[in-house]
Amino acid sequence: MSTSSIPALPRMMPGDYQAFDALFAQSSAIGATPAGGLNRLTASAEDGAMRDAFCHWLRQHGFRVHVDEIGNLFGLLTLRAGAPWLLCGSHLDSQPAGGRFDGAFGVTAAAVALASLARQLKERPDQARYNLAVVSWTNEEGARFQPSLIGSAVFTGSSTLDAALACRDAQGVTLGEALESIGYRGTSRPEMPLAAYLEIHVEQGPHLEQQRQQIGVVTETWAALKWQVLFRGEQNHTGPSLMASRRDALLAAAKTIVAVRDEADKHGLAMHTSVGRVETSPNSPNVVTSEATLYIEFRSADEALLKTTGEQFSRTLQQIAQQTATDVSLVSSLFRPRQKLDAALAQRALKLAEESGLSAMPMQTVAGHDAISLSYHCPSCLLFVPSHDGLSHNEREFTAQEDLHRGIDLLLALLADLCLSPDAASEVTRC
């Protein structure tokens, strides 16, 4: 057989780019902030509106829509009855006043790439090895409901459905109630054994831009230690109460915030830390704070360093409580271990990038992603495109259109290669 008789792998067409641009623009408009970002918290009215629009788009393009019990939204394309599935996606929820690319790019890119692939495979229906599915995971961000990555955690079994639905926001509304209110508390998950999971995302860091690379292929993630810490003091009048006798929980919180930053400074580039949220009670200008809750994060590629830091910082918290005459307790602790993603898929992605004329580099991710949850369940691949100035979780988050399109090019190439090539598919161990 001559090579000219071998059909070329499917690739993005001009109409596909136009379809992506339109769908991404629609996503960017639902929950848009005046400064060009997104405020689309999980199971909010804005989230419901975006889910409705996405379901409409999926049905228009031949997908069968299914919503599971935790609100994960699937678009299903059956190419070969009884075959495993290639699942591809990300999330549609955002941070408060977040960026319009984080998560939404991955979902819209996956939907368009899969629709294009399925359309082109109609010309060779007997060659498809897998079925295709796009997913938008519920509550990836962990902004309204904690912890993050809830939808993918329930899907993979690392969290129970009951525990996830019982999570409460700051107003006491449960995730189950919130999903019910927007009509997206669905039924049991579809039967879909996975061959692999693919996700494309904006980098949320400066490395691709600094290295002048067009694609990042994630090989592993940093570990993370996340704490919710509560200081209890005594409510009193901020005027007449004597300074020496105050039991100010907010003072304890302030000392803790400084101490958390000091931990990062001790270790240079080896550790990132933050206190991203502080809740106080009674939160009045004229009242000494009686309770302060802090959400603390330590991240590192070195799990032993995180373990040591956790032990030492527990003692630091006790010292701060003693200095401020407050009581301290650890309300919750979550350790997310360092995780390697599937090496065969990563190498395949790097090779396809090279063959496509795209500059690419292997890299780590410090942020958490649904692909990390899925990597415990099936072979998973996480691709990055550049983020301008490394800015993310910010209304000024930006990735150029040509970088978005390059990312979809590689995503479709990888999907097509896995779906059509026996050699590539044999490298992937089915879950």
Tell me: is residue 393 an annotated ligand-binding position: yes
Tell me: is residue 377 an annotated ligand-binding position: no
How is residue 366 annotated by DSSP? -
Distance (Å, rounded) from C-alpha 250 to C-alpha 329?
Answer: 14
Distance (Å, rounded) from C-alpha 423 to C-alpha 334?
Answer: 39
Which segments of 325-377 does DSSP mark as H helices, in order?
343-355, 370-375
Distance (Å, rounded) from C-alpha 207 to C-alpha 213?
Answer: 8
Integer CA distances (angstroms), 389 to 36, 284, 286, 312, 397, in order: 17, 38, 41, 34, 9
Distance (Å, rounded) from C-alpha 194 to C-alpha 85?
Answer: 5
Tell me: is residue 388 an annotated ligand-binding position: no
Tell me: is residue 126 an annotated ligand-binding position: no
Tell me: is residue 91 an annotated ligand-binding position: yes
* Contact criterion met (CB below 8 Å) for 66 and 89: no
Half-sphere exposure of 274 (CA within 13 A, CB side): 8
**Which DSSP string do the residues of 87-131 spell out, in sequence order?**
EEEEE----TTB-SSTTHHHHHHHHHHHHHHHHHHTTSTTS--SE
Quote the crossing angle between the two packed helices 104-121 and 45-60, to the nearest 10°.
10
Residue type, 53: A
Q: Which residues are annotated as a binding site?
A: 91, 102, 141, 201, 393
Q: Which residues are annotated as a binding site for Zn(2+)?
A: 91, 102, 141, 201, 393
